[in-house]
Amino acid sequence: LPPGPPGRPIIGHLHLLQPPLHLCLHTLSQQYGPIFFIKMGSSPAVVVSSPFWAKEFLHTHEHDFADRPQFEASKRIFYNNRTLVMMEYGSLWRHLRKLYTVHILSSKRVEMFENPRLEEMALSIKLLENQMCGAVVDLRKLVFNTVGNMMSRMLFSKRSFDVSEAADGGECRFKELVERTAVLFGTPFLGDLVPWLSWLDVQGARKRMDRVAKELDKFFEEVLVERIATSRGVSEEETDADYLDMLLRIYNEDGGMDRDSIKCILMDLLMASIETTTTAIEWTLAELLNNKSCMMKLQEEVDTLIQGEDAAVLNGSGKCLVRDSQLTKLGYLQAIFKESLRLHPPFALNLRQMCKALDTGIKVGGYDLPKKTRVIFNLWAMARDTTMWGANAGSFCPDRFLNDGAPDLRGHHYEFLPFGTGRRGCPGMSMALTVAPFVVANLVLRFNWETPDGIILDLSKEASSLTAPLATPLVAIPTLRRSSQ
């Protein structure tokens, strides 16, 4: 086995693990090395903190570690692990993955949904202009709602999140459900760590999981029933077609797809996208607030682009917005976004598991790993390693991504894997790389942003949740930029 700290009976190394887990595992790696062995309760796990070892597992042994650990929450909430994120590696997963990459999340499909994204951005900007200028704004909430509405409109043409403070009732219900789900996934469940103790359920978590599962199912069932009842029969080429139209067409043509599959896909896409994208945007804005010169340079870049080209102008509102197609021309914005993802990967840790078929374990890099070994990739630690990134690895320095040969995001550079890599790498990367920089560009185009009392934010701490957002939600004060009028 790889080296590792001494463990205890039953709990293994659980007593050593404190939140935030990525920091705790990083500290242990400094003592035990870039690959070390622990037991999470009764589950064997290796923690990987170097690009060399990441490549060993994710490239050399790609097939062998293409599974994910199965958790009680995902069994209960995601229709017995039927979402792509949590599905066991095998033929069903391959079938669904193809559907995602070819039909659902291809760049072409993402492009088709520019309109709802522009409209939602315009609504959030209007809210900021009319009700929030000069006031302290909860940016996490604003971004979460904006991204949430963009996603739910692309999926089933409904706004499911409230962007105005006044909205209430049904619209907020779904937001609360997403948040409760994230908490359930972010909190370890005893039975996942020590299966023979799962009957105890001291945390009462099963009940909470079942309640969330029931309410989520009800929400998606209503969406489905309403759409089937209206039988709008929109073809996928039509401009107001959404993902649900496409899924219903496949449902009608493909006997292998049932109602739960559709609900599962809708749920998967919402859950995998909103929290991650919001966290990425929140960190980017936080870094910009602390690095004023970068913020100003970005505003200049966006201003120059908008003045020189046709920007989107919405519904005669006079509001100019940066469009998707312009994002690739904003080189500095791209560098800022990458640098923020480097320092603050929304999934600080990525989890894989040895495939079930390897029932006697496998040898990796000279180590004998037992069956069902979990691999925890410390993406956070690898992206801050000074041997790879230089002495300023801990500083926000977007210029490092302007150099030729800088690491890309697409999973070829193992020191920088915010979207993972290989067959189980993130299929939503195109969507994320469109939505997140789009929101950032438009927020800095129209507003100057300041922290309350001009304080420098402490960006050294993350909260423990499904993703790793700022320890306290980001707040800032917007003022309208004259040049944006």
Q: Which residue's CB is nearer to ligand HEM, number 277 or number 484? A: 277
- The answer to whether the Cα torsion of 239, 244, 249, 250 is positive or negative is positive
Q: Which is nearer to ligand HEM, 105 or 476 (CB)?
A: 105
Choice between 271 and 314, CB closer to ligand HEM: 271
Residue 333 and residue 445 in contact, taking contact as beta carbons nearer than 8 Å? no
- Of 311 and 376, nearer to ligand HEM (C-beta) is 376
Residues that bind ligand HEM (CB under 6 A): 84-85, 97, 105, 268-269, 272-273, 276-277, 280, 346-347, 350, 352, 418-421, 424-428, 431-432, 436
3-class secondary structure, 67: strand
- Closest to ligand HEM by CB, 98 or 259: 98
**Smallest gap from residue 418 Cβ to ligand HEM (A):** 5
**N-to-C CA span, the chain:** 63
Nearer to ligand HEM, 370 or 425 (CB): 425
448 phi/psi in degrees, rounded to 5: -90, 145
Nearer to ligand HEM, 47 or 320 (CB): 47
Question: Residue 250 Cβ, how far from ligand HEM at the closest point, in Å?
Answer: 17
Whether 426 has a binding-site annotation, put simply, is yes
> CB of 82: closest distance to ligand HEM in angstroms?
12
Residue list for the binding site for heme: 426
Residue list for the binding site: 426
